[in-house]
């Protein structure tokens, strides 16, 4: 039976390259000359710490981060900007979580969306991926097309396609 896996993984090396490009761009920008700016990636926890003089500069760093990440092939949805920037003394900090993998509650939503689509496919949650199987490969392609319209806030990769 044809099948494929839906995953949401972030390549650590590509993410690291994007962060280094952002650091280089920010240090070369005129509006950041002489400013306190720290962009630190915790590779173990997939967390990004942003520090700047003001909340406005954090917003500018965020814009550069998203644009440079997209040029590196990373989707903008991998960054979780739900935590607001907070002042800490003279500087402003923001902690940005990098989404890596599909959480259990998101996986349940995806399986429900697949079942509600009315396609003749089966979806099963396997750790942080979702395996979708069908009798025809065309049904699997319909699931991929339908997934582009879901607004879950995750960047999907469709891997391990078997026919």
This prediction's pTM: 0.82
Residues forming beta bridges with residue 7, ordered by sequence position: 157
CB 139 within 8 A of CB 124: no
Q: What is the pLDDT of residue 146?
A: 87
Q: Does residue 15 surpass a pLDDT of 90?
A: yes
pLDDT at 163: 79
Q: What is the pLDDT of residue 61?
A: 94
157-162, long-range: CB < 8 A, 24+ apart: 157/6, 157/7, 157/8, 157/9, 158/4, 158/5, 158/6, 159/4, 159/5, 159/7, 160/3, 160/4, 160/5, 161/2, 161/3, 161/4, 162/2, 162/3, 162/4
pLDDT at 101: 87
According to the model, what pLDDT value does residue 64 have?
94
- What is the per-residue pLDDT across 29-79, written as a single tens digit (0 to 9) for each? 898 888 899 999 999 999 999 999 999 999 999 999 999 999 999 989 899
User: What is the CA angle 11-133-123, rounded to 5?
Assistant: 75
| 27 Cα distance to chain centroid | 25
Q: At what angle do helices 137-147 and 104-116 cross, to 10 degrees?
A: 120
pLDDT band with cut points at 50, 70 and 90 for residue 160: confident
Other beta carbons within 10 Å of 100: 16
Spacing of C-alpha 34 from chain mean position: 31
The predicted pLDDT at position 32 comes to: 87
Q: Which of 63, 57, 55, 65 is nearest to 20 (CA)?
A: 65
Q: What is the pLDDT of residues 110-140, one digit of tens each?
A: 999 999 888 899 999 988 899 999 998 898 8
pLDDT of residue 150: 84
Reported as a single tens digit per residue, the pLDDT across 80-98 is: 999 999 998 899 999 999 9
Query: Mind listing the domains of the chain with CATH numbers?
Result: 3-8+101-162 (3.30.70.860), 12-98 (3.30.70.990)
């Amino acid at each position: 039976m044809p099948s494929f896996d839906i995953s949401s993984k972030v390549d650590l090396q590509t993410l690291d390259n994007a962060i280094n490009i952002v650091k280089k761009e920010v240090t070369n920008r005129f509006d950041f000359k002489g400013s306190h700016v720290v962009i630190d990636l915790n590779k173990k926890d997939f967390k990004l710490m942003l520090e700047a003089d003001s909340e406005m500069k954090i917003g500018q760093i965020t814009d550069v981060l998203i644009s440079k990440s997209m040029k590196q092939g990373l989707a903008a949805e991998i960054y979780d900007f739900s935590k607001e920037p907070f002042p800490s003394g003279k500087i402003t900090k923001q902690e940005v979580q990098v989404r890596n993998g599909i959480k259990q509650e998101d996986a349940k939503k995806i399986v429900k969306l697949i079942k509600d689509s009315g396609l003749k496919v089966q979806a099963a949650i396997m750790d942080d991926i979702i395996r979708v199987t069908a009798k025809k490969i065309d049904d699997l392609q319909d699931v991929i097309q339908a997934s582009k319209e879901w607004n879950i806030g995750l960047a999907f990769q469709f891997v391990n396609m078997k026919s």
